Amino acid sequence: MCGIVGFTGKRQALPILLKGLERLEYRGYDSAGVAVCDGKTTRISKNAGRVYVLKYKTESENLVGTCGIGHTRWATHGKATEENAHPHTSEDLAVVAVHNGIIENYARLKTMLVEKGYAFYSQTDTEVAVKWLDYCLKQEGEPLQALSRFMEQVEGSYALAVLFKEYEGEIYAIRKDSPLLVGVANGESFLASDAPAIAEYTGDLYYMENKEIAQITAGEARFYDERAQEIKKVAVRAKTSGEETEKGAFAHFTLKEIFEQPKAVERTINALLKDGFIDFSAAGISEKMLKERGQVWIVACGSAYHAGLVLQYFFESVAKIPTRVELASEFRYRNPLLGKDALVVAISQSGETADTLFAVREAKRAGAETLAIVNVYGSSIAREAKYTLYTQAGTEVAVATTKAYSTQLVAGYLLGVELARGRGGLDERAYRAWIEEIVALPAKLSQTLEIRGEAEQAAKRIAKQPNVFFIGRGVDYATAMEGSLKLKEISYIHAEAYAAGELKHGAISLIETGTPVVCVVDSMFEKTVSNLAEVKARGAFTIAVAGEGKNVEGAEVTLSVPNSRLFASVAVVPLQFLGYYCGVERGEDVDKPRNLAKSVTVE
Ligand code: G6P
């Protein structure tokens, strides 16, 4: 979703801001803008559409200056127009700001501002925030007190980067429930909502906490609490590098990241194993804590939710622990009946998904233990959950997740095995067998990548179809759901996943001659093959994803993957390829599908 970048230093700000915005593009956005100050004048340029358009536009504009802020906006309040794009300004440019998040009481604030004589040019909540801040500044006379007052009165979520006209060379920033980090290096300072935007300049980052204020000048950053009292913060070494956000020889980030899966999975396993045994001590997870859990609730959104569904099967079958998976957006509002022995596992690539974050808070409020499986180091969910297991996918740029999903699965399998051991459900032999199975995954994933060509051919046969169905039983149903999501988000083909046995209770009426049905078939093999026969008999074009050496009768195309007791991990790869190649075949923007955002920081 929206991205923020800021710079104040010795060099011209514009190229640094534009490069930062390019690095934030993967978050998903529909307009972009920058504000650059040369000490006297702040100049703004913005447009609906991509950063490259902004880049082109600013070539003929005079945006000189060594201090500035930039933004990519994912529209919430008001369409994706130039007018609604950030930065937003007060009338006399006393306050110029960019904002991530949603100001929830903006309507009330706007009414009050209108009464005070303020006029508005956009439909955004951000313009209201900027003008409210301008009002606070006029009351308080200086930025720190103004920001402190602003935070008292403004409700909702925000990461706000502000240029105050009278404070040359300074950027002020505040945050609540939306990330912001600050980096200082070589007499220059950087600000971003997301580490990759500034990782090439500095690896030491100050992660701002809720309701902190940052005052950033060239080469220095000072931090204050919400009452504007100065606080000391310690910089943390970032776990990302700028290069990760380059796609190299690959046509798309999606393809690059599919290919990165064996390594990402291997890194994740290695980080959680020590001398062949699971070791969660770095996360502070004790054997006792796991042993005392009587139920697991997994909360997540999107693909992370599908990873949760796979893990539900794993936890229940291996650890014999009752497990429920809930969409975080539902969980947080329905007063779930969490037992005192509940472990709430939040799964999130970004660690910033608003619904998942609020689900963690809800779980904590209810007294449950909270454990996050998160990819982005230092992210909000990682910091707020009691325990965090980091996946080691590296920066994932393509909006549709692939490698992060695969790493979520392995981190989850290891958690399941450890839960099983803690609960006395695994003897040493069984424990070792599971570890071996997990450790074998990177090599099997490498082998699975060889399916690329066949998957591309299959994709060519389905790319023109309006509807595709995915079916599977048991854990394969969860994989079918992920395959269906990949296809619809990347290629915009309508896709639905069904439990293979359920299809005939309605959706089979939609099968026509040539309708593609992709069948993930491992669990309950014969029964699923029978379900495939049912759709074939009605004219479906059938594609199976099955273990090597398995003969799937009725499948016109079989995409064979290595056999594994962790079939979900290998079976998802051909489905990722199907989604990817269908998108390519249809000429879609596969890395940045329309309307989608990588990190969904609003409810
Ligand atoms: C967005 C992304 C999905 C992702 C979901 C959850 O919708 O487009 O790919 O699965 O958010 O994101 P998270 O960062 O919490 O895993």
Segment 539-586, tens digit of pLDDT: 999 999 999 999 999 999 999 999 999 999 999 999 999 999 999 999
Last residue of some domain: 406, 439, 472?
439
Please count the structural domains in the chain.
Answer: 3
CATH at residue 396: 3.40.50.10490
Do the domain assignments include residue 601?
no
pLDDT at 378 (0 to 100): 81
Same domain, 260 and 353: yes
Q: Cα–Cα distances in Å, from 251 out to 21, 423, 583? A: 21, 47, 12
Q: Is-catalytic flag, 2? A: yes
Same domain, 120 and 23: yes
Phi, psi (degrees; rounded to nearest 5) at 92: -95, 15
Distance 329 CA to ligand 1 centre (A): 12
Instruction: Please name the residue whose Cα sits nearest to atom 1 of ligand 1.
Output: 598
The DSSP result for 15-72, as a single string, is HHHHHHHHHHGGG--SEEEEEEE-SS-EEEEEEES-HHHHHHHHHTS----SEEEEEE
Per annotation, catalytic residue among 2, 37, 301, 582: 2
The pTM of the full predicted model, rounded to 2 decimals, is 0.82
Same domain, 185 and 277: no
- Mutate which of 374, 599, 601, 602 for ligand 1 pocket (most atoms within 8 A of beta carbon): 599
> What are the pLDDT digits (tens) for 299-318?
999 999 999 999 999 999 99
Q: Can you tell me which atom of ligand 1 is nearest the CA of 305?
A: 10
The count of residues in the chain is 603
Q: Cα–Cα distances in Å, from 599 out to 123, 176, 350, 411, 554? A: 23, 16, 6, 20, 40
Nearest residue to 553 (alpha-carbon basis) of 529, 519, 583, 524: 529
Distance 578 CA to ligand 1 centre (A): 19
Burial of 425 per CB tally in 10 Å (0-12, 13-18, 19+):
middle
Same domain, 156 and 60: yes
Q: Cα–Cα distances in Å, from 477 out to 10, 43, 306, 307? A: 56, 53, 10, 12
Pocket of ligand 1 (CB under 6 A): 301-304, 348-350, 353, 356, 399-401, 596, 598-600
pLDDT at 296 (0 to 100): 97
Same domain, 260 and 200: no
Last residue of some domain: 416, 439, 462?
439
**b vs e for 163-174, b when ≥16 Cβ sit within 10 Å of the residue's Cβ?**
bbbebbbbbbbb
Same domain, 461 and 362: no
Distance 404 CA to ligand 1 centre (A): 10
Last residue of some domain: 410, 439, 468?
439
Q: Can you tell me which atom of ligand 1 is nearest the CA of 399?
A: 8
- Report percent pLDDT > 90 for the chain: 84
Instruction: Please name the residue whose Cα sits nearest to atom 5 of ligand 1.
Output: 302
pLDDT at 240 (0 to 100): 59
Q: Is-catalytic flag, 598? A: yes
pLDDT(187) > 60: yes
Contacts of 52 (CB under 8 A, 6+ apart): none
Mean pLDDT of the chain: 94
Distance 178 CA to ligand 1 centre (A): 15
Structure tokens at 459: 């994709």
Do the domain assignments include residue 247?
no
Same domain, 8 and 121: yes
Distance 376 CA to ligand 1 centre (A): 12
Q: Can you tell me which atom of ligand 1 is nearest the CA of 485?
A: 9
For residue 410, the enclosing domain spans 253-439
Same domain, 466 and 503: yes
Nearest residue to 572 (alpha-carbon basis) of 442, 484, 474: 484
Residue 10, CB-side half-sphere exposure with 13 Å CA sphere: 6
**Pairing of β 204-207 and β 181-185:** antiparallel
Structure tokens at 560: 């064979």
Same domain, 47 and 175: yes
Q: Can you tell me which atom of ligand 1 is nearest the CA of 400?
A: 9
